[in-house]
């Protein structure tokens, strides 16, 4: 999964913008959608020879007001359509000012409807998934489910990083030095699983959920599958454990004889 990509190139937030909290097996990032623009990414993807499944994670530029956010997402969707296999709509990063407001019921419905209409008009539509924050309240999660079902997109990614800092064991000075941004890794595990479970129950298992948050091993992946996930994504675990994490998780799941679905490295 590549991204998050935006229509125009942007530098992202000033570095340093990625911090490890090793005692918590966590990361804090405030990258700010740093990328060379969706058209440059599409050109690189067009030249790839691998047949591995690739997703396009799309967002809006920092200086685009929310009132025009739909245009940015459509630009990215159209630029990537022929070179990716699925899409993730990122409205949940805490590192672009105002972005999370797009998770509110009316703007979210308008955004997903516009994307799905463009998608449905094509001969072979692509799966579109919505990536949500772990900080949403139950009523907000229910709104998300209602919109996803109404619009008919393919699934939900649960979850993005959190703005919470509860229960961390790291030195408070290290946490303060990391500053603002999204927290990911082991401290997010329980909350992301809770969100997956809520979504699975609310949708009666009819909408695929990609679980992300605190997966470092087979036990973490198995927990997500038990909560109702169809797929599991790793990011912070990939940083701490290295690229062998996917093979190790799949091997251990297979050896234990169940609870396994596909596991992949995220964006």
The residues annotated as belonging to the active site are: 93
Could you give the dihedral angle defined by the CA atoms of residues 242, 182, 224 and 57, in that order, rounded to the nearest 10 degrees? -80
State the angle between helix axes of 245-256 and 218-227 in degrees (0 to 180), rounded to the nearest 10.
70
Contacts with 245 (C-beta within 8 Å, 6 or more apart), sequence order = 216, 234, 237, 238, 265
The owner of tokens 């409205």 is 91
Could you tell me the two tokens for 116? 């799905």
CB 70 within 8 A of CB 58: no
Based on its alpha-carbon atoms, the radius of gyration of the chain, rounded to whole angstroms, reads 18
C-alpha dist (Å) from residue 18 to 15, 94, 198: 8, 14, 30
């Amino acid at each position: 999964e590549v991204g998050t990509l935006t229509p125009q190139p942007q530098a992202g937030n000033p570095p340093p913008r990625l911090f490890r909290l090793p005692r918590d097996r966590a990361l804090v990032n405030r990258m700010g959608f740093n990328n060379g623009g969706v058209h440059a990414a599409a050109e690189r993807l067009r030249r790839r020879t691998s047949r591995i499944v690739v997703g396009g994670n799309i967002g809006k530029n920092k200086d685009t007001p929310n009132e025009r956010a739909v245009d940015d997402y459509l630009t990215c969707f159209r630029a990537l359509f022929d070179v990716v296999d699925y899409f993730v709509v990122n409205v949940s990063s805490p590192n672009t000012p105002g972005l999370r407001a797009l998770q509110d019921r009316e703007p979210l419905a308008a955004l997903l409807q516009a994307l799905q209409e463009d998608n449905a008009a094509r001969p072979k539509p692509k799966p579109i998934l919505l990536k949500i924050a772990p900080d949403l309240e139950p009523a907000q999660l229910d709104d998300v489910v209602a919109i996803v079902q109404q619009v008919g997109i393919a699934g939900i990614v649960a979850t993005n990083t959190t703005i919470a800092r509860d229960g961390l064991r790291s030195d408070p000075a290290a946490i303060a030095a990391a500053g603002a941004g999204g927290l990911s890794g082991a401290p997010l595990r329980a909350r992301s699983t809770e969100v997956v479970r809520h979504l699975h129950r609310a949708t009666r298992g009819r909408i695929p959920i990609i679980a992300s948050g605190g997966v470092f091993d087979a036990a973490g992946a198995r927990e997500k599958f038990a909560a109702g996930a169809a797929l599991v994504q790793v990011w912070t675990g990939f940083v701490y454990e290295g690229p062998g994490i996917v093979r190790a998780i799949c091997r251990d799941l297979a050896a234990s004889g169940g609870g396994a679905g596909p596991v992949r490295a995220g964006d």
